[in-house]
Chain A
Amino acid sequence: NAGVMQNPRHLVRRRGQEARLRCSPMKGHSHVYWYRQLPEEGLKFMVYLQKENIIDESGMPKERFSAEFPKEGPSILRIQQVVRGDSAAYFCASSQGRVDNSPLHFGNGTRLTVT
């Protein structure tokens, strides 16, 4: 059973470009979460999605950031017009059900560098 798959592993973008980060959850998992981690810091919640629905996007900046989890295909975290402050590791996690009962399984992350 493949784990959570994220790609690309590393992404370099110039200021003003767009970054697209992809995440395929574990088979059978319908809950997807995106977290951001700055160097030497903790994991900050960004967004929680289920298939075709954004459940909680309270941790995501209102501008330039968007997320989706379509009926078919991976979840996508999209950052438009990137700035240097967007440089971070972005982790996707999935769970089988509510976090009360199901732990999170993390992907390897996408390390975004904005030059």
Chain B
Amino acid sequence: GQQVMQIPQYQHVQEGEDFTTYCNSSTTLSNIQWYKQRPGGHPVFLIQLVKSGEVKKQKRLTFQFGEAKKNSSLHITATQTTDVGTYFCAGPNPRVDTDKLIFGTGTRLQVFP
């Protein structure tokens, strides 16, 4: 079945350092979505990428969708303590008879002040 892997599993950074998480799918995706889950919280939608090679920015966050639409990355510039949490990528299951998001394994980010 479809698998979505993320690396690294954990990342500890000093405040002000940059951070990147990588997402790889076993199948081509129609789109990729990114979610953030704070410790003890619930996942919150960040962004959706649809086009091959697409790049989107949200303040210090840069999201990229690979040319083959099988991988994606999230880069945070100059991390802050408010960036702490787990970042998940997610892609739709390619089967037409269902409609669900398959979530990646997640990258947990810890930021030290």
Contact = CB atoms under 8 A, between A and B. Distances in A.
A31 B30 CA distance: 19
Interface string B83-113: 0000010101000011111111110000000
A44 B90 CA distance: 11
Interface stretch (B11-19, B37-45, B59-67, B68-76): B37-45
B103 A42 contact: yes
Contact of B98 (A42, A44, A56): A56
Interface in A82-115: 91, 93, 98-100, 103-109
A99 B101 contact: yes
B100 A106 contact: no
B27 interface: no
Contacts of B88: 42-43
Contacts of A42: 88, 103-106
> Interface SS of chain A: helix, strand, loop or mixed?
strand
Given A42-B88, A43-B88, A48 B42 contact: no
Contacts of A108: 41-42
Interface string B45-56: 100100000000
B32 to A, nearest CB: 11
Nearest to A105: B45
B98 A106 contact: no
A14 B44 CA distance: 31
Contact of A99 (B35, B42, B44, B92): B92
Contacts of A104: 33, 35, 43, 45, 90, 101
Given A55-B98, A58-B98, 18 more contacts: A33-B100, A33-B101, A42-B105, A43-B103, A45-B101, A48-B98, A56-B97, A91-B42, A98-B99, A99-B99, A100-B30, A100-B31, A103-B45, A104-B45, A104-B90, A105-B45, A106-B42, A106-B44
